[in-house]
Structure 1
């Protein structure tokens, strides 16, 4: 779990009026007590009134409330439209993650916005004329690998090739082309940046080891490197 996700989770627990100890939190998130101390300081620095009760634990200041997020009708419409576009990615886990996130977002829509968003949802159709029906189930995992600088091992099969090759890569970015997600990574086999279609990755393993960022720049990549699937 990332620090941001852990901070949000801790805040959610504190909002439930529970009294939480550092030991309890460390055990729940499988981190050290020192890490929890740092997390609490982060919340305090962000203006969250966390109260420390000596010898007992942490709680939120009495009466503290987080203002609910309000979406305009245009913002809600943008999310509903994005839902239809995401459904064309053919990546099972990413689509599921997006749907779950959108369900949480919809829960804070005002009633009037909810009704209109349901009308719009039934009024959009995205056509896909790509008849290569290959799905994937890795996009969400590769997003985490990119942001956390994790090495990835993959078994990859190029188009029109029956051979599957093993690669160790440093994932840096991805883009969508014809409803296909393309991962750009440093490939140790080729000793260069290469592009991999995510739906052609047969197996992958996110490693715990992290790499040093090569200061990859996506814009410069497109200016200097053609699509290389190797």
Structure 2
């Protein structure tokens, strides 16, 4: 890749990610770290406010904007495909936020790309074989609680259990399996990590108080066989 396309690619990455290291950029574009340093300097000389965080990497000054990027037809098709898959989610809040985001993205499509993407949309379908039709409306708020480290209070009902339990939790991570969203959180009632099906949360409240990051790792945690079994049970109950 020549320098100009690489500079544009680096700028796009900086806009889409909070921090990038020189090593990451070097490996991604198969260039030396010294070349990365020169690229960053070129961007700075061109007026791009790249900030160097000592020992961490590069980021852009808050509030900096660039002209809208142009999408290829294949990239637009990938977004349309993602839209079809996302519509199978059982969480209405997440679906609404995704559709609003996609509308903003499509606003920068060239007219020819937009026309073809709408044609593809009408010619695609994802069949859903789910038996359950339980829906939720909490995913978007819970995602914010995860990234902002806010405590959450929930009323939760397990499968085949008429009783509803109150929990104060620290939301750590989410995953999807069998078209169901699963929340992994530190439960103050159980004093341990627990898996909750989001569509079984009867009521939730995001608290303004923040908890200390427990440095939860999904990969590390699933290596624990006991927890793996519990998570599997939570995903189907």
- Segments of structure 2 that go 5 or more residues without pairing to the other structure are 1-14, 16-48, 52-59
Question: Does residue 200 of structure 1 match 2:200?
Answer: yes
Matched residue of 1:83: which SS?
helix
Question: Does residue 166 of structure 1 match 2:166?
Answer: yes
Cα distance change on mapping 1:122 and 1:209 into 2, 3 Å: same
What are the superposed Cα offsets for residues 15-58 of structure 1, whole Å, 9 maximum, x if unpaired?
A: xxxxxxxxxxxxxxxxxxxxxxxxxxxx79646999xxxxxxxx
Q: How far apart are residue 204 of structure 1 and its match?
A: 0.2
Matched residue of 1:144: which SS?
helix
d(CA) in 1 for partners of 2:207 and 2:190? 20
d(CA) in 1 for partners of 2:216 and 2:50? 34
Q: How far apart are residue 68 of structure 1 and its match?
A: 2.2
**Residue number in structure 1 paired with 2:8:** none
**Residue number in structure 2 paired with 1:14:** none
**Residue number in structure 2 paired with 1:25:** none
Question: Does residue 151 of structure 1 match 2:151?
Answer: yes
Cα distance change on mapping 1:110 and 1:169 into 2, 3 Å: same
**Residue number in structure 1 paired with 2:117:** 117
Matched residue of 2:169: which SS?
strand
Cα distance change on mapping 1:128 and 1:69 into 2, 3 Å: same
d(CA) in 2 for partners of 1:185 and 1:68? 37
**Residue number in structure 2 paired with 1:85:** 85
Q: How far apart are residue 189 of structure 1 and its match?
A: 0.9
- Segments of structure 1 that go 5 or more residues without pairing to the other structure are 1-7, 9-42, 51-64
Q: How far apart are residue 66 of structure 1 and its match?
A: 3.6
Matched residue of 1:85: which SS?
helix
Q: How far apart are residue 119 of structure 1 and its match?
A: 1.3
Cα distance change on mapping 1:222 and 1:48 into 2, 3 Å: closer
Question: Does residue 69 of structure 1 match 2:65?
Answer: no
What are the superposed Cα offsets for residues 177-207 of structure 1, whole Å, 9 maximum, x if unpaired?
A: 1111000000111111110000000000000
d(CA) in 2 for partners of 1:93 and 1:174? 15
Q: How does 1:25-44 map to 2 (within 5 A)?
A: none
Matched residue of 1:132: which SS?
coil
**Residue number in structure 2 paired with 1:139:** 139
CA RMSD of aligned residues (A): 2.2
